[in-house]
Every structure is written in structure tokens, then in C-alpha cells.
Amino acid sequence: MIASTQTNNPLGGDAPPAEPPDAVAYARAKIKQAGLRVTQPRLAIVATLARCTEPVGAEELHRRIADGACDLVTVYRCMGVFEELGLVRRAYFKDGAASYELDLGAPPRYHVVCRATKRVEELDAAAAAEIRAVLVSVEDKLRARGFRDVRHVAEFFALAPR
Amino acid sequence: MIASTQTNNPLGGDAPPAEPPDAVAYARAKIKQAGLRVTQPRLAIVATLARCTEPVGAEELHRRIADGACDLVTVYRCMGVFEELGLVRRAYFKDGAASYELDLGAPPRYHVVCRATKRVEELDAAAAAEIRAVLVSVEDKLRARGFRDVRHVAEFFALAPR
DNA sequence: GTGGATGCAAAGAATTTGCAACCAA
DNA sequence: TTGGTTGCAAATTCTTTGCATCCAC
């Protein structure tokens, strides 16, 4: 499902290259299926989000969207809608500001956030797998107790080397 | 200092009455040891925090402190100082607002937050131990890579039963 | 006595809400 | 056509900052 043809790794500036059409198609389906409308701003947001390699804040996401294709308020509103659709995940590391990332069905990822530089680094697959295994088992226990729609977040904070 | 002979259970359903004098003593030591001043507001804040069974937001913490013993701004400032001292931990579940809890050296706890009611429930010891084991091992790997002062957070979100 | 700490007011940042115009179905 | 969406402005909420006063050491 997730882009499998990406070869670049921009970050920092937005040096954006090819754009995974899969994400947009997936989103379009989810939105329609929910009886909501597929609009230009929504597509632009999803496409932009699909090009981000790490969670981004509303403000930054808005900045990255091609020339004012939509208002910041719309970004906030869409994030709310998309989150309910299970199309994006919201996290709260980096100060108290929310960060969003597309949820294309793949298992959640985990990150280390540098408290000094605010830089975010994704954990390697091995560590992620270990973490996921345990957290998912706990989620299952909660579901067994009647909790529904269970999700989790796990993040690490530290002072990065150098 | 603050009442030490409590027997009632005011406030939104917290069970515990008596107040652990240890927390205040521990805090007093940490503050002094850092060359900072042990003030009345700081003691009141720590004592209040010690009576909370779950993380509380700044606003609520302020509300719980015995009759305006200190200003809300002071609560914020103290949380900042205490966090640096490693005396409190800050978390960001419940919307984007920060929640704080005392850090008396005991291992961190984990919670399930109901997205509907915002109610927070602590996970049982067994689950917590499992989670802790894995996350600590990942922390160790990060330390081995040069990361310093590594910490983690892990929380679950769901719709509580009933 | 003196510098760190506090209170009060005001500033800031992040996110939400009101409402008329707009466009996807 | 028509109700979901959007934009712009204004309002909220949470948190931080400025500054004169105050108190812990």
C-alpha cells in the first residue's frame, strides 16, 4: 500500500519529488466511503502529507501545500475529519503542538525526538517490531475488557548525540 | 505546612486521603540540592500533586491547591522547573494540553485514555512491566548510540466500555 | 541584603468557531 | 439544487513573558 517507488529522502526543505498516487487514491476512497466530499483542498492536503517522511504540524503542513491551495483553518478541519476516518494519526511530541501523519493501514512507527533540536528520527524496524508486539498485546487485553477502537502511541525523548 | 490530617475524599473521585510526606521531603531535597529555593508555593504544589492519582493539567492542579495558595502562572513556572529537576513528568494525552505527574523515582506508569470521556485509567502492574521491559531495552540501545537523558512515553487511547 | 521567586497583566501560540459564499454530488 | 466545505475574521484555550514586589537563604 505505501509508496514503494520512492527513492529520495529530502526532509528539511521540501524538495519534493514524485508523489505517491496510491495515498491519494486510498484517501479518495475512504472519504467517499464515509459519504463525505472529495474536494480540491482535501486532495492537496493528502498529497502533501504523503510526501512527508515524518509527522508534521498543521502550520508546517499548510506551508508545504502548493501555493495557498487551502487555508490553515481547512487544514485543521481536515485533520479532524481525517483522524475520525482513520486516515491520519495525531501525535503530541514536540512541545504541545499536534503533529500528523498519514495512516495508510501500515503499522504505526515510533520515533526519538531530540529535546534540544526538536529533530525527529524514526526507530529501526527491529526495535519497532519489538515495541509493536508488546503494545499490540496490551491493546488486545484492553479489547478483551470491552475497550473499543484501541490505539496507542509510544515515543522516545532524548538529547541526540553531537 | 499543608494539612497532614486529611481524611476526606473531596474532588472528583480520587480515593486516597492521607498525604505522603515523603513526596514533600523528597522534593524539598531535590530543590535544595539544585541550589534553588524551597518556597511556600512550591511545597503546596508538590503536596497537591502527591495527592493526585493520575496526571493532572496545570489548570486543574491550580484549582486543587488549597485556596489560592499560588497563582496559575506559578504553577506553570514550577512545572517547568520541576521537570528539569526530574521531579515531575509531563505528558500530552487529553487534547493538546499538558498533564503532569510527580516523578519520585519509581518507574513510569502507563494509562488508557477514553477518547469520549477523557477519563484516564492506569494499566495493571503486569502489563506495565511488560511494556517497561521493552521500552527500556530500546532506551538502552539509544544510549548505546550516544543519546543522552533518554526517556519514553507510551499511552493507549480507546473508547471505554459502557 | 540580594537574587531567585511570585503575582498580575499582557503577550503569544495553537486550535476552534461563526457565518456567508462556494462547489461536489 | 443543496448540504457539505471552505475562507476569513474573531474567539478560545493553553502557556509564556515583562516587570515590580517579595521572601528564602
10-residue stretch averages of pLDDT, chain A, 162 residues long:
32 44 92 97 97 93 89 98 95 84 90 83 94 97 94 89 83
pLDDT at B116: 77
Is A62 strand, coil or helix?
A: helix
Instruction: Please state, rounded to an integer, the average pLDDT across all residues of chain B.
Output: 86
Å between A68 CA and D1 C1'?
Answer: 29
pLDDT at A117: 78
- CB neighbour list of residue A84: distance below 8 Å, 6 or more residues apart: none
- CB neighbour list of residue B106: distance below 8 Å, 6 or more residues apart: none
pLDDT at A58: 96
Which segment of B7-11, B21-25, B46-50, B126-130 scores lowest on mean pLDDT? B7-11
Q: Please give the model's pTM, rounded to 2 decimal places.
A: 0.82
- CB neighbour list of residue B48: distance below 8 Å, 6 or more residues apart: B2, B61, B64, B65, B66
pLDDT at A18: 52
H/E stretch holding B157: strand B148-159
Q: Do B157 and A152 touch (CB under 8 A)?
A: yes
Nearest-nucleotide field for A71 (CA, C1'): D7
pLDDT at A6: 33
Q: Which nucleotides of C are covered by protein (CB under 7 A)?
A: 4-10, 13-18, 23-25
Banded model confidence at residue B9, pLDDT cuts 50, 70, 90: very low
Residue A161: CB less than 7 A from any atom in strand D = no
Distance from the Cα of A156 to chain B's closest Cα (Å) equals 4
pLDDT at B8: 34
pLDDT at B162: 78
pLDDT at B153: 87
Residue A36: CB less than 7 A from any atom in strand D = yes
Nearest-nucleotide field for A45 (CA, C1'): D6
Å between B73 CA and C10 C1'?
Answer: 13
* Residue that has been written with the C-alpha cell 508488546 in this structure: A134
Task: Choose the closest CB to A131 out of B135, B142, B150.
Answer: B135
Q: Do B97 and A97 touch (CB under 8 A)?
A: no
Is A91 strand, coil or helix?
A: strand
Q: Which residues lie across from A121 on neighbouring strands?
A: A112
**Burial of B67: CB neighbours in 10 Å, binned 0-12, 13-18, 19+:** exposed
Q: Which nucleotides of D are covered by protein (CB under 7 A)?
A: 4-10, 13-18, 23-25
What letter would DSSP give residue A77? H
pLDDT at B19: 57
What does the buried/exposed string (b/e) look like for B39-61 if buried means 16 or more CB atoms within 10 Å of the residue's CB? eeebbbbbbbbbbbeebbebebb
> Is the pLDDT score of B63 beyond 80?
yes
Copy the grid coordinates of residue A40.
Answer: 480540491
* Mean pLDDT score, B57-74: 92
Q: For B90-149, what is each residue's pLDDT tens digit?
A: 988 767 899 999 999 888 889 998 877 778 889 999 999 999 999 999 999 999 999 998
Task: Choose the closest CB to A161 out of B93, B130, B147.
Answer: B147
